Amino acid sequence: ELRLSDRVLSIKPSPTLAVTNRAAELKAAGKDIIGLGAGEPDFDTPEHIKAAAIKAIQEGFTKYTAVDGTAGLKKAIIAKFKRDNGLDYQANQILVSCGGKQSFFNLALAFLNKGDEVIIPAPYWVSYPDMVLIADATPVCIECPQSQNYKITPAQLEAAITPKTKLLVLNSPSNPTGMVYSKDELLAIADVLRKHPHVWVATDDMYEHIIWTKEPFVNIVTVAPDLYDRALVLNGVSKAYAMTGWRIGYAAGPAKVIGAMKNVQSQSTSNPTSVSQVAAQAALDGDQDVLKPMVAAFKERHDYVVSALNQIAGVSCSPADGAFYAFANVEGAIAKMGLKNDLEFSEVLLNTVGVAVVPGSAFGLDGHMRISYATSLKVLEDAIGRIKKAIEG
């Protein structure tokens, strides 16, 4: 009899990828489907980034690189942290990986032991709890409802910390909510962490540049530099530069932890793709104005989607500050339609009006749906019209 590992039996496949695949299958079968599941910009990678990669191929830059990334890319990352965040890192504090996903995976495997608790505010990016489980540690998911803009409060954090707590995971702007922690909110969280020196923090800044707050982007380390020695900063080029397929993410933090993460990577994937590293370097070193039209488009779609969703009976969507997701409370609609939960709700949307969304429960908060608005306004108008029809009949 086939016996798989307990480890793999403890996890599930990524629900966002599952929704995307199911929508693609129905589409291939000839159904009229709008997929709003994927967390991927609809823009093309900017030309100067592609040109740098093409040149690298032509020049034969197609061999193994250093496991932790090329010297050139690490230099660009160090300069980026200085320029955007005022943070100082040395080369041995930086690890380049195959996407932000691998950065967190390396961290989980290098940093966590059985019994260690990781505090994850819910709704969360789907992969955090499962990667913690793969590492044999325990995810402690804290529900953060709409009334607090889906963000963890200092009181919730204080109550969740135990002697076994090893790590707090913050993600701002957030996938799936688009919410951004303000400087004051981060300062209050930092105050709690100061009382508990055994707790480390990982800040996932993947959506740093896709933001429309009045204040500039901050993370927990930039507002509380005294936490630098127990903080990991995770970031990457996937979302901001429309580079999801290139698979480049990076992590920065104390050299001992980064070195351990590098060892994990050296025994799994080795270096990220050589050519992609050249492309990522061009993205970070190049003209940052390429981000502007993309961010402006996301903001325009955000404004449309949030306002249109709030005009549907039983739907409540709080405005967000960044990323490209609308996270809407659909508890009223679920009740109105006589459904059990948001999983049923998203199935009904797919089967009756052909719109694929991801249920909030996939992100650890039932009664919601996540819409990715990384698609044209025209498609969004069509999709929201259909959702309205499914709910209001």
Nearest residue (beta carbon) to ligand PLP: 99
User: How many binding residues for ligand PLP (CB under 6 A)?
Assistant: 13
Residue 99 touches ligand PLP, criterion: CB under 6 A:
yes
String of DSSP letters for 122-173: ES--THHHHHHHHTT-EEEEEE--GGGTT---HHHHHHH--TTEEEEEEESS
Binding status of residue 360 toward ligand PLP by CB under 6 A: no
Report the amino acid identity of residue 116.
D
Distance separating alpha carbons of residues 245 and 231, to the nearest angstrom: 28
Angle in degrees, 0-180, between the axes of helices 255-266 and 99-111, rounded to the nearest 10: 110
Do 190 and 157 contact (CB within 8 A), yes or no?
no
Regarding 100 and contact with ligand PLP (CB under 6 A), the answer is: yes
Do residues 269 and 98 make contact, with C-beta atoms less than 8 angstroms apart?
Answer: yes
> Is the CB of 49 or the CB of 353 nearer to ligand PLP?
49
Residue carrying the six token digits 């989607």: 305
Residue with tokens 């040395």: 90
* Nearest approach, Cβ of residue 388 and ligand PLP (Å): 27
Of the two residues 185 and 205, which places its CB atom closer to ligand PLP in the complex? Answer: 205
Residue 101 within binding range of ligand PLP, rule CB under 6 A: yes
Nearer to ligand PLP, 126 or 192 (CB): 126
Applying the rule CB under 6 A, the residues between 14 and 43 that interact with ligand PLP are 39
φ/ψ of residue 281, rounded to 5: -65, -40
Two tokens at 61? 């830059």
Query: Is 277 a binder of ligand PLP (CB under 6 A)?
Result: no
CB of 103 to ligand PLP, least distance (A): 8
Kindly tell me which of 171 and 334 has the beta carbon lying closer to ligand PLP.
171
Write out the two tokens for 57. 């191929």
The structure tokens listed for 19 are: 């929704």
Residues in contact with ligand PLP, shown as a per-residue x/- string from 114 to 153 under the rule CB under 6 A: -----------x----------------------------
Q: How many degrees, rounded to 5, is the angle at CA 335 between CA 332 and CA 339?
A: 130
Q: Is 236 in the site for ligand PLP (CB under 6 A)?
A: yes
Nearer to ligand PLP, 146 or 175 (CB): 175
- Closer Cβ to ligand PLP, 96 or 334, answer by number: 96
Locate 145 and state its tokens. Answer: 């409802």
Output the smallest distance, CB 173 to ligand PLP, in A: 9
Least Cα distance to 135 among 156, 153, 118, 160 occurs for 118
Strand pairing partners for 317?
Answer: 328
**Cβ closer to ligand PLP: 99 or 359?**
99
Of 262, 271, 239, give the one whose Cα is nearest residue 105.
Answer: 262
Stretch that binds ligand PLP, among 78-86, 115-123, 236-244, 336-344 (CB under 6 A): 236-244
Q: Any contact of residue 175 with ligand PLP (CB under 6 A)?
A: yes
CB of 175 to ligand PLP, least distance (A): 3
209 binds ligand PLP per the rule CB under 6 A: no
* Residue 84 CB burial class (10 angstroms; 0-12, 13-18, ≥19): middle
Q: Is 244 one of the binding residues for ligand PLP (CB under 6 A)?
A: yes
Distance CA 249, CA 96 (A): 6
Q: Which residues bind ligand PLP (CB under 6 A)?
A: 39, 99-101, 125, 171, 175, 204, 206, 236, 238, 244, 249
